C-alpha cells in the first residue's frame, strides 16, 4: 500500500506542506503537524537538513542551519517520520539533497523509510539521468518517485521526467529558488496542463506558493500545490499559542480554496 496513490482527486487540489525536520523539537513538530492535518493539509513533505541546499532560498536555508545546529541526523528524521505516520494518515514524503541520502545508503534509506511510513522521495539535485540507483531502491521498497520539471524544461524533458515518475511531477513555478512570492508566472496555466497531457502523471506546483489567490488560481488546472517557505516564515515569526493559531488560520484559509470549480479531470488518461 502506498498512501500517495490516493492523494489526488478530480474535485480537489491536494495541499502539500513542507517542514524542515529538526528545526523544532519533536513534540513541537508533532503539534504543528497535528494543526496542519486538522486545518486541511493533504500531504506532508519532510525536509532533510543539508549544509549546502543550493535550490533553497533564505527561509529554508535558515531552517536547515537551525536543524543542523541541533545535530539533526537523517536517522532522527526517519524517527520523526515514524512518529508522524503513527499518528496521522496523510501521505508522507522525504525531501532531501542527494549526498546525505547517498552516504546513508540508498537501499537502506528506502527500506527504513518505508518501514517508518514514508511514501515517496524528492531529491531536488538529482535529475532522472543520474537517478538510476535511487529509482531502483524506491521501486524495490514500494515507495514513489517525485521528479521536478521547471519553466526551462522542454517537451523532451517532460517525456524523460514523466517516464520515471511514479508519484507525481513537482512543477517548479518559477526560475529561481524556494521562497514566498507575490505573483506567480502566468504561463503555469498553459504549462501544467501540457505536462499532464504529455506525461499522464499528476502535477503539483511548488516554489513561491503563499496566498489564497495562488490556490484559487491553481486549483482548476493543477493536481496539487506545495507550500513551504510561507509556512516556515509564520512558524518563525510567532511563538506559543499565537503561533498555532496563526498557522491554523493560514492553512484553513488555503484549504477553503481547494475545491475545483470546473469539471476538469485530474489528469488525462
Cα dist from 138 to 98, 132, 202, whole Å = 14, 10, 18
57 binds another protein (CB under 8 A): yes
Which x/- pattern over 75-114 shows residues binding another protein (rule: CB under 8 A)?
----------------------xxxxxxxx----------
Nearby residues of 239 by Cβ (< 8 Å), 6 or more positions away: none
267 binds another protein (CB under 8 A): no
- Burial class of residue 186, CB neighbours in 10 A (0-12, 13-18, 19+): exposed
- Which residue's CB is nearer to another protein, number 41 or number 205? 205
Options 154, 182, 239, 241; binder of another protein; rule CB under 8 A = 154
Cα(82)–Cα(77) distance, integer angstroms: 9
164 binds another protein (CB under 8 A): no
- Which residue's CB is nearer to another protein, number 91 or number 124? 124
Q: Binders of another protein: how many residues, by CB under 8 A? A: 41
45 catalytic? Reply is: yes
Q: Min. distance of Cβ 122 from another protein in angstroms?
A: 11
- Our CA angle for 31, 224, 59, nearest 5°, is 55
Give the range of 83-91, 174-182, 222-230, 240-248 binding another protein by CB under 8 A: 174-182
Give the range of 7-15, 54-62, 193-201, 211-219 binding another protein by CB under 8 A: 54-62
- Which residue's CB is nearer to another protein, number 34 or number 62? 62
Radius of gyration of the chain (CA): 17
Options 8, 24, 147, 168; binder of another protein; rule CB under 8 A = 147
* The three grid cell numbers given for residue 136, joined into one nine-digit string: 531502483
Catalytic residue of the set 23, 42, 45, 180: 45
238 binds another protein (CB under 8 A): no
Catalytic residue of the set 23, 42, 56, 223: 56
157 binds another protein (CB under 8 A): yes
56 catalytic? Reply is: yes
Q: How many CA atoms lie within 13 A of 5 on its CB side?
A: 4
Dihedral sign of CA atoms 90, 15, 143, 66 in order? negative
Q: Min. distance of Cβ 125 from another protein in angstroms?
A: 5
Binding residues (CB under 8 A) for another protein: these are 50-55, 57-58, 61, 65, 68, 73-74, 97-104, 124-127, 129-130, 147-154, 157, 161, 172, 175-177
Write out the catalytic residue numbers.
Answer: 45, 56
Amino acid at each position: 500500500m502506498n498512501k500517495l496513490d490516493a492523494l489526488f482527486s478530480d474535485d480537489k487540489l491536494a495541499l502539500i506542506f513542507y517542514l524542515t525536520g529538526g528545526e523544532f523539537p519533536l513534540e513541537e513538530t508533532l503539534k504543528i503537524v497535528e494543526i496542519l492535518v486538522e486545518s486541511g493539509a493533504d500531504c506532508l513533505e519532510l525536509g532533510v537538513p543539508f549544509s549546502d541546499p543550493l535550490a533553497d532560498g533564505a527561509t529554508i536555508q535558515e531552517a536547515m542551519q537551525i536543524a543542523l545546529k541541533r545535530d539533526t541526523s537523517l536517522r532522527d528524521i526517519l524517527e520523526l517520520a515514524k512518529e508522524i505516520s503513527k499518528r496521522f494518515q496523510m501521505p508522507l514524503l522525504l525531501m532531501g539533497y542527494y549526498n546525505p541520502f547517498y552516504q546513508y545508503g540508498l537501499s537502506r534509506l528506502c527500506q527504513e523509510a518505508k518501514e517508518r511510513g514514508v511514501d515517496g522521495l524528492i531529491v531536488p539535485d538529482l535529475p532522472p539521468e543520474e537517478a538510476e540507483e535511487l529509482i531502483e531502491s524506491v521501486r524495490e521498497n514500494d515507495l514513489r518517485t517525485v521528479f521536478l520539471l521547471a519553466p526551462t524544461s522542454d517537451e523532451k524533458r517532460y517525456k524523460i521526467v514523466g517516464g520515471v515518475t511514479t508519484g507525481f511531477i513537482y512543477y517548479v513555478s518559477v526560475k529561481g529558488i524556494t521562497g514566498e512570492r507575490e505573483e506567480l508566472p502566468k504561463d503555469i496555466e498553459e504549462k501544467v496542463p501540457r505536462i499532464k497531457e504529455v506525461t499522464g502523471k499528476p502535477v503539483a506546483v511548488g516554489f513561491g506558493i503563499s496566498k489564497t489567490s495562488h490556490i484559487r488560481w491553481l486549483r482548476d488546472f493543477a493536481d496539487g500545490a506545495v507550500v513551504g517557505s510561507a509556512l516556515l516564515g509564520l512558524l518563525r515569526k510567532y511563538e506559543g499559542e499565537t503561533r498555532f493559531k496563526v498557522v491554523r488560520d493560514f492553512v484553513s484559509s488555503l484549504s477553503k480554496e481547494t475545491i475545483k470549480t470546473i469539471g476538469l479531470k485530474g489528469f488525462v488518461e
